[in-house]
Structure 1
Amino acid sequence: MIFKMLTQDLNIIPLRASSIDIHPNAKWSQNGITVVGRNEYGSGTNQLRYPRGLYIDDDQTIYVADYGNHRIVEWKYGATNGKVIAGGNGPGNEANQLNHPRDVIVDKERDSLIISDWGNNRVVRWPRQDSASGETIISNIACFGLTMDENGSLYIVDDIKHE
């Protein structure tokens, strides 16, 4: 389940380390709201299976790295079902497949997703708009997490090399 965390004054706090600006005296609500994955785990468009990374864009669309289903799921604000926008074709290393994705971010400049395809030791760029496949942009890397700064520089955590 993915929770929307609210401060006491009900302002939404982005859940991405690179974009969080939390006041040191912020008080957290003790009652989070489930906004994604409200059902038992599974492979339906309203379900997730071992979700890992997530990204929330400027429109409050949530992108989830659905590790156990080998896909990235997009949840529009207020939606009760997600939409598979990357992978979802079983585990594999073809251009239309992912294998245990761990993280996902949005590259606003290229209107694409950057995906940590951990099981394939690669980082993939996948267009956000109606694309059936992505392209490998970095190979031979056990990418465990990633983020992008405001200048478009990509930062990656390599699980195997401890970098």
Structure 2
Amino acid sequence: INVLLFLYPNVTNANAKWIQNGITIAGENEQGNAMNQLSDSYGLYVDDDQTVYIADCANNRIVEWKCGATTGRVVVGGNGKGNRSDQLYCPTDVAIDKERNSLIICDYQHETVVRWSRQNGKNGETIISNVRCYGLTMNDDRFLSIVDYDKHEVKRVRMRENQETVVADGNRCGNRLD
């Protein structure tokens, strides 16, 4: 069963306390493609209103779940996998760019990071190519950190200048720190 548990929205707070029992907020039913189901969901983002955005990989979509909702709503993709600008192919993570009011999405199988407007965006815009993005996050200074699965590295991109810097490099697959 593909279940997503919501435990605490701000784990960076030094005074955060974990609750002992989580509550299911999305995907309570069996794995599938209905609006109350998820399939191979990997990453999520919780916005300031406690709305949860879920990268639903096998369904090629980003699903929005409002606090207390019993079903989600597709906000990006959901048009099957493919190469059109309105399609995703296994999204693995999602974040919000507050300055541009857009979703930033790891489009894993397309090997891109795309930006999608939160204001009725119908098409995505590729902002980074040739990256097998598996995870991402954006800080308040608009530095985007991206996990590149194939290259075993973490890249940091300053969105205003589109400058890319490798901040953690595995050099090769392995567990050594050199």
Shorter-chain TM-score tier: 0.7 to 0.9
Equivalent AA in structure 1 for residue 70 of structure 2: T
Q: In 1, distance between residues paired with 2:38 and 2:56? A: 6
Q: Which of these residues, 75, 89, 98, is aligned with residue 88 of structure 2?
A: 98
Distance 1:4 1:20 in 2: 15
SS at match of 2:95: strand
Comparing both structures, which one devotes a greater share of its residues to strand?
2
Q: Give the whole-Å Cα distance in 1 for the aligned partners of 2:71 and 2:124.
A: 23
Matched, 1:2 2:4: yes
SS at match of 2:134: strand
Aligned to 1:162: 152
Partner Cα separation in structure 2 for residue 121 and residue 114 of structure 1: 14
- 1:149 counterpart residue number: 139
Larger Rg over CA atoms: 2
* Residue 21 (str. 1) matches residue 13 (str. 2): yes
* 2:12 partner letter: I
Distance (whole Å) between structure 2 residues aligned to residue 49 and residue 154 of structure 1 = 26
Identity %: 54
Moved more, 149-158 or 28-37: 28-37
Match of 1:50 in 2: 40
Cα displacement (A) at 1:70: 0.4
Secondary structure of the residue aligned to 1:60 is coil
Q: Which amino acid aligns with 1:137?
A: I
Pick the aligned partner of 1:72 from 62, 66, 73.
Answer: 62
Assess if the C-alpha contact under 8 Å between 1:4 and 1:35 holds in 2.
yes
Gaps of 5+ in 1: 6-12
Query: Whole-Å Cα distance in 2 between the matches of residues 22 and 91 of structure 1?
Result: 40
Kindly provide the CA deviation profile for residues 1-38 of structure 1, in whole angstroms up to 9, marking residues without a partner as x. Answer: 11121xxxxxxx216xxx621438x3x33321101111
* Residue matched to 1:30: 20
Return the alpha-carbon distance in structure 1 between the equivalents of residues 135 and 83 of structure 2: 19
> CA contact under 8 A between 1:54 and 1:63: conserved in structure 2?
yes
Partner of 1:133: 123
Partner SS for 1:68: helix
In structure 2, stretches of 5+ residues that fail to align are: 154-178
Task: Return the match for 1:83 from 56, 69, 73.
Answer: 73
Question: Within 1, Cα distance between the matches of 2:43 and 2:86?
Answer: 20
1:28-77 C-alpha deviation (Å, 9 max, x unpaired): 33321101111111111111001100000000000000011000000111
Q: Does the residue aligned with 1:160 lie in a helix, a strand or coil?
A: coil
Give the counterpart letter for 1:47 in structure 2: Q
